[in-house]
């Protein structure tokens, strides 16, 4: 049984100025006035983290990791205090807590720590006094009381972990888009905002390039059954609810990854390359196997450091783009994709299957058209139906 409590998370852009913090306060007050308890997680004001990193780099290109965490954690301390002040000014009782004060304990991995425990007693005490509780995102303390930070997407992680620990009925991630889309709307104009999306589809979408939610956040929410809602800070609307464990029938969404590099490597060297890849911390890579060769697809921006150590093992290299179809029927329809894309003169270099998804390796110049063709045919929106009808008449 969930508790009548909402966790709301606001990113750096949402708290980027005193005016925007006022706007955030209105979202918070709306939730509070609906009768729920409210816990708010905030990032540093946009630009602030960069300012602090810049100061640190002036001191040392590779600053001491413990002290970098002390420095960066000041960023959220500023935004949380300003939000709490704003709520107080508007007549609400609010209190802000650093990661340490909120008793968020992490491991000792400075700059990229993982939350190990949240003792909610301090937060619970404040909630019992009818206060709105603001918690600094992205930060915690380790076992000896040193400040730690969580790394990329850390504030989302703080929010969802708090929601889990507090048994919240919903964790709302406020961002600069109004929800999760069936595909990147900058590429596919007909992409539709989804009212709901299940965890396995969202997880695969995030894993395969959808930027709206960070992977660890989705993983935690799924594992702990915390309903997530993605909303816009700047526009009204119900956003997208991420909940449910069964993928919907058909194709739930398309994810796009541009600026990728396919490195073709002799099968004999795959284990060695895998080891180097791990040592260098190359993430979000993909192995595609065909009869003679293995193709390793990695992000362009981490390709150079990998090439420095495995250059002599690379047979061919080629820039590519990835299009992933996610959903229960994604794999079984694979042969149709090739046929459809052939009609538009697009060839698929490789296919790569996962549990509920299939990834098409494409030439970079063809990705946008391929995404539109497959979206039009497999994701049914009112616009795509209309367009299909028009095409029939024109034909």
Which residues bind to a copy of itself, rule: CB under 8 A? 18, 21-22, 52, 55-56, 58-60, 63-64, 66-68, 70-71, 73-75, 77-78, 80-82, 84-86, 88-89, 94-96, 98, 100-101, 122, 145
Nearest to 248 by CA among 204, 210, 201: 201
**Least spacing, CB of residue 171 vs a copy of itself, in Å:** 24
**Structure tokens given for 274:** 């895998």
DSSP 377: H
Measured CA to CA, the distance from residue 172 to residue 233 in angstroms comes to 11
Extract the annotated binding site.
9-12, 49, 76, 175-176, 181, 186, 211-212
Q: How many CB atoms lie within 10 A of CB 140?
A: 30
Cβ at position 243, least distance to a copy of itself in Å? 34
Task: Name the nearest CA neighbour of 260 among 305, 316, 303, 207.
Answer: 303
- The whole-angstrom separation of Cα 155 and Cα 49 is 13
Beta carbon of residue 22, minimum distance to a copy of itself (angstroms, whole number): 8
Q: How far is the CB of 92 from a copy of itself (least distance, A)?
A: 11
Q: Which long-range contacts (CB under 8 A, 24 or more apart) does 186-189 make?
A: 187/256, 187/367, 187/368, 187/371, 187/372, 188/254, 188/371, 188/372, 188/375, 189/372
Greatest CA separation found in the chain?
72
Minimum CB separation of residue 51 from a copy of itself in Å reads: 10
- Alpha-carbon distance of 231 to 189, in angstroms, equals 20
Minimal distance, residue 36 CB to a copy of itself, in Å: 22
Residue nearer to a copy of itself on the CB measure, 141 or 231: 141
Q: If you search the block for the tokens 């994810």, which residue do you land on?
A: 255
The residue (of 63 and 153) whose beta carbon lies closer to a copy of itself is: 63
Q: Is the CB of 122 or the CB of 270 nearer to a copy of itself?
A: 122
DSSP state string for 222-270: HHHT--EEEEESSS-S--EEE--SSPPSS--EEEEEEEEEEEEEEGGGH
Other CB atoms within 10 A of residue 293 CB: 15
Whole-number Cα distances in Å, 256 to 129, 174, 295, 323? 47, 22, 19, 5
Distance in angstroms (rounded) separating the CA atoms of residues 355 and 353: 7
Annotated binding site for ATP: 9-12, 175-176, 181, 186, 211-212
**What is the closest distance, in whole angstroms, from the C-beta atom of residue 231 to a copy of itself in the complex?**
24
**Measured from the CB atom, is 80 or 243 closer to a copy of itself?**
80
Shortest spacing between CB 57 and a copy of itself, in angstroms: 9
Please measure the distance between the N-terminal and C-terminal CA atoms of the chain and give it in whole angstroms: 56
Q: Which residues are annotated as a binding site for substrate?
A: 49, 76
């Amino acid at each position: 049984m969930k508790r009548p409590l909402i966790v709301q998370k606001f990113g750096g852009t949402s708290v980027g100025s005193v005016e925007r913090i006022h706007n955030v306060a209105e979202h918070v007050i709306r939730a509070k006035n609906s009768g729920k308890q409210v816990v708010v997680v905030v990032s540093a004001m946009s630009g602030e983290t960069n300012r602090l990193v810049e100061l640190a780099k002036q001191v040392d290109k590779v600053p001491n990791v413990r002290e970098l965490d002390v420095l960066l954690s000041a960023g959220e301390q500023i935004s949380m205090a300003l939000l709490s002040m704003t709520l107080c000014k508007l007549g609400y009782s609010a209190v802000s807590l650093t990661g340490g004060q909120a008793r968020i304990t992490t491991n000792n991995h400075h700059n990229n720590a993982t939350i190990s425990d949240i003792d909610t007693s301090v937060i619970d005490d404040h909630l019992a006094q009818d206060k709105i509780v603001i918690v600094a995102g992205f930060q915690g303390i380790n076992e000896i009381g040193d400040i730690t930070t969580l790394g990329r997407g850390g504030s989302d992680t703080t929010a969802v972990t708090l929601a889990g620990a507090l048994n919240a009925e919903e964790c709302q991630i406020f961002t600069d888009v109004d929800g999760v889309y069936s595909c990147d709307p900058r590429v596919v104009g007909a992409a539709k905002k989804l009212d709901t999306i299940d965890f396995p589809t969202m997880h695969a979408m995030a894993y395969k390039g959808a930027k709206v939610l960070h992977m660890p956040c989705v993983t935690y929410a799924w594992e702990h059954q915390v309903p997530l809602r993605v909303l816009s800070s700047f526009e009204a609307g119900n956003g997208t609810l991420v909940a449910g464990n069964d993928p919907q029938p058909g194709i739930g969404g398309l994810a796009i990854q541009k600026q990728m590099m396919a490195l073709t490597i002799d099968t004999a060297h795959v284990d060695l390359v895998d080891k180097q890849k791990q040592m260098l911390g190359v993430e979000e890579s993909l192995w595609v196997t065909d009869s003679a060769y293995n193709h390793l697809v990695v992000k362009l921006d981490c390709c150079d450091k990998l090439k420095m150590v495995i250059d002599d093992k690379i047979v061919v290299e080629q820039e590519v783009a990835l299009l992933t179809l996610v959903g229960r029927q994604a794999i079984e329809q694979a042969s149709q994709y090739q046929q459809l894309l052939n009609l538009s003169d697009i060839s698929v270099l490789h296919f790569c299957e996962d549990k509920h998804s299939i990834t098409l390796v494409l030439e970079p110049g063809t990705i946008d058209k391929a995404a539109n063709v497959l979206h039009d045919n497999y994701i049914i929106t009112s616009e795509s139906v209309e367009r299909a009808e028009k095409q029939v008449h024109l034909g």
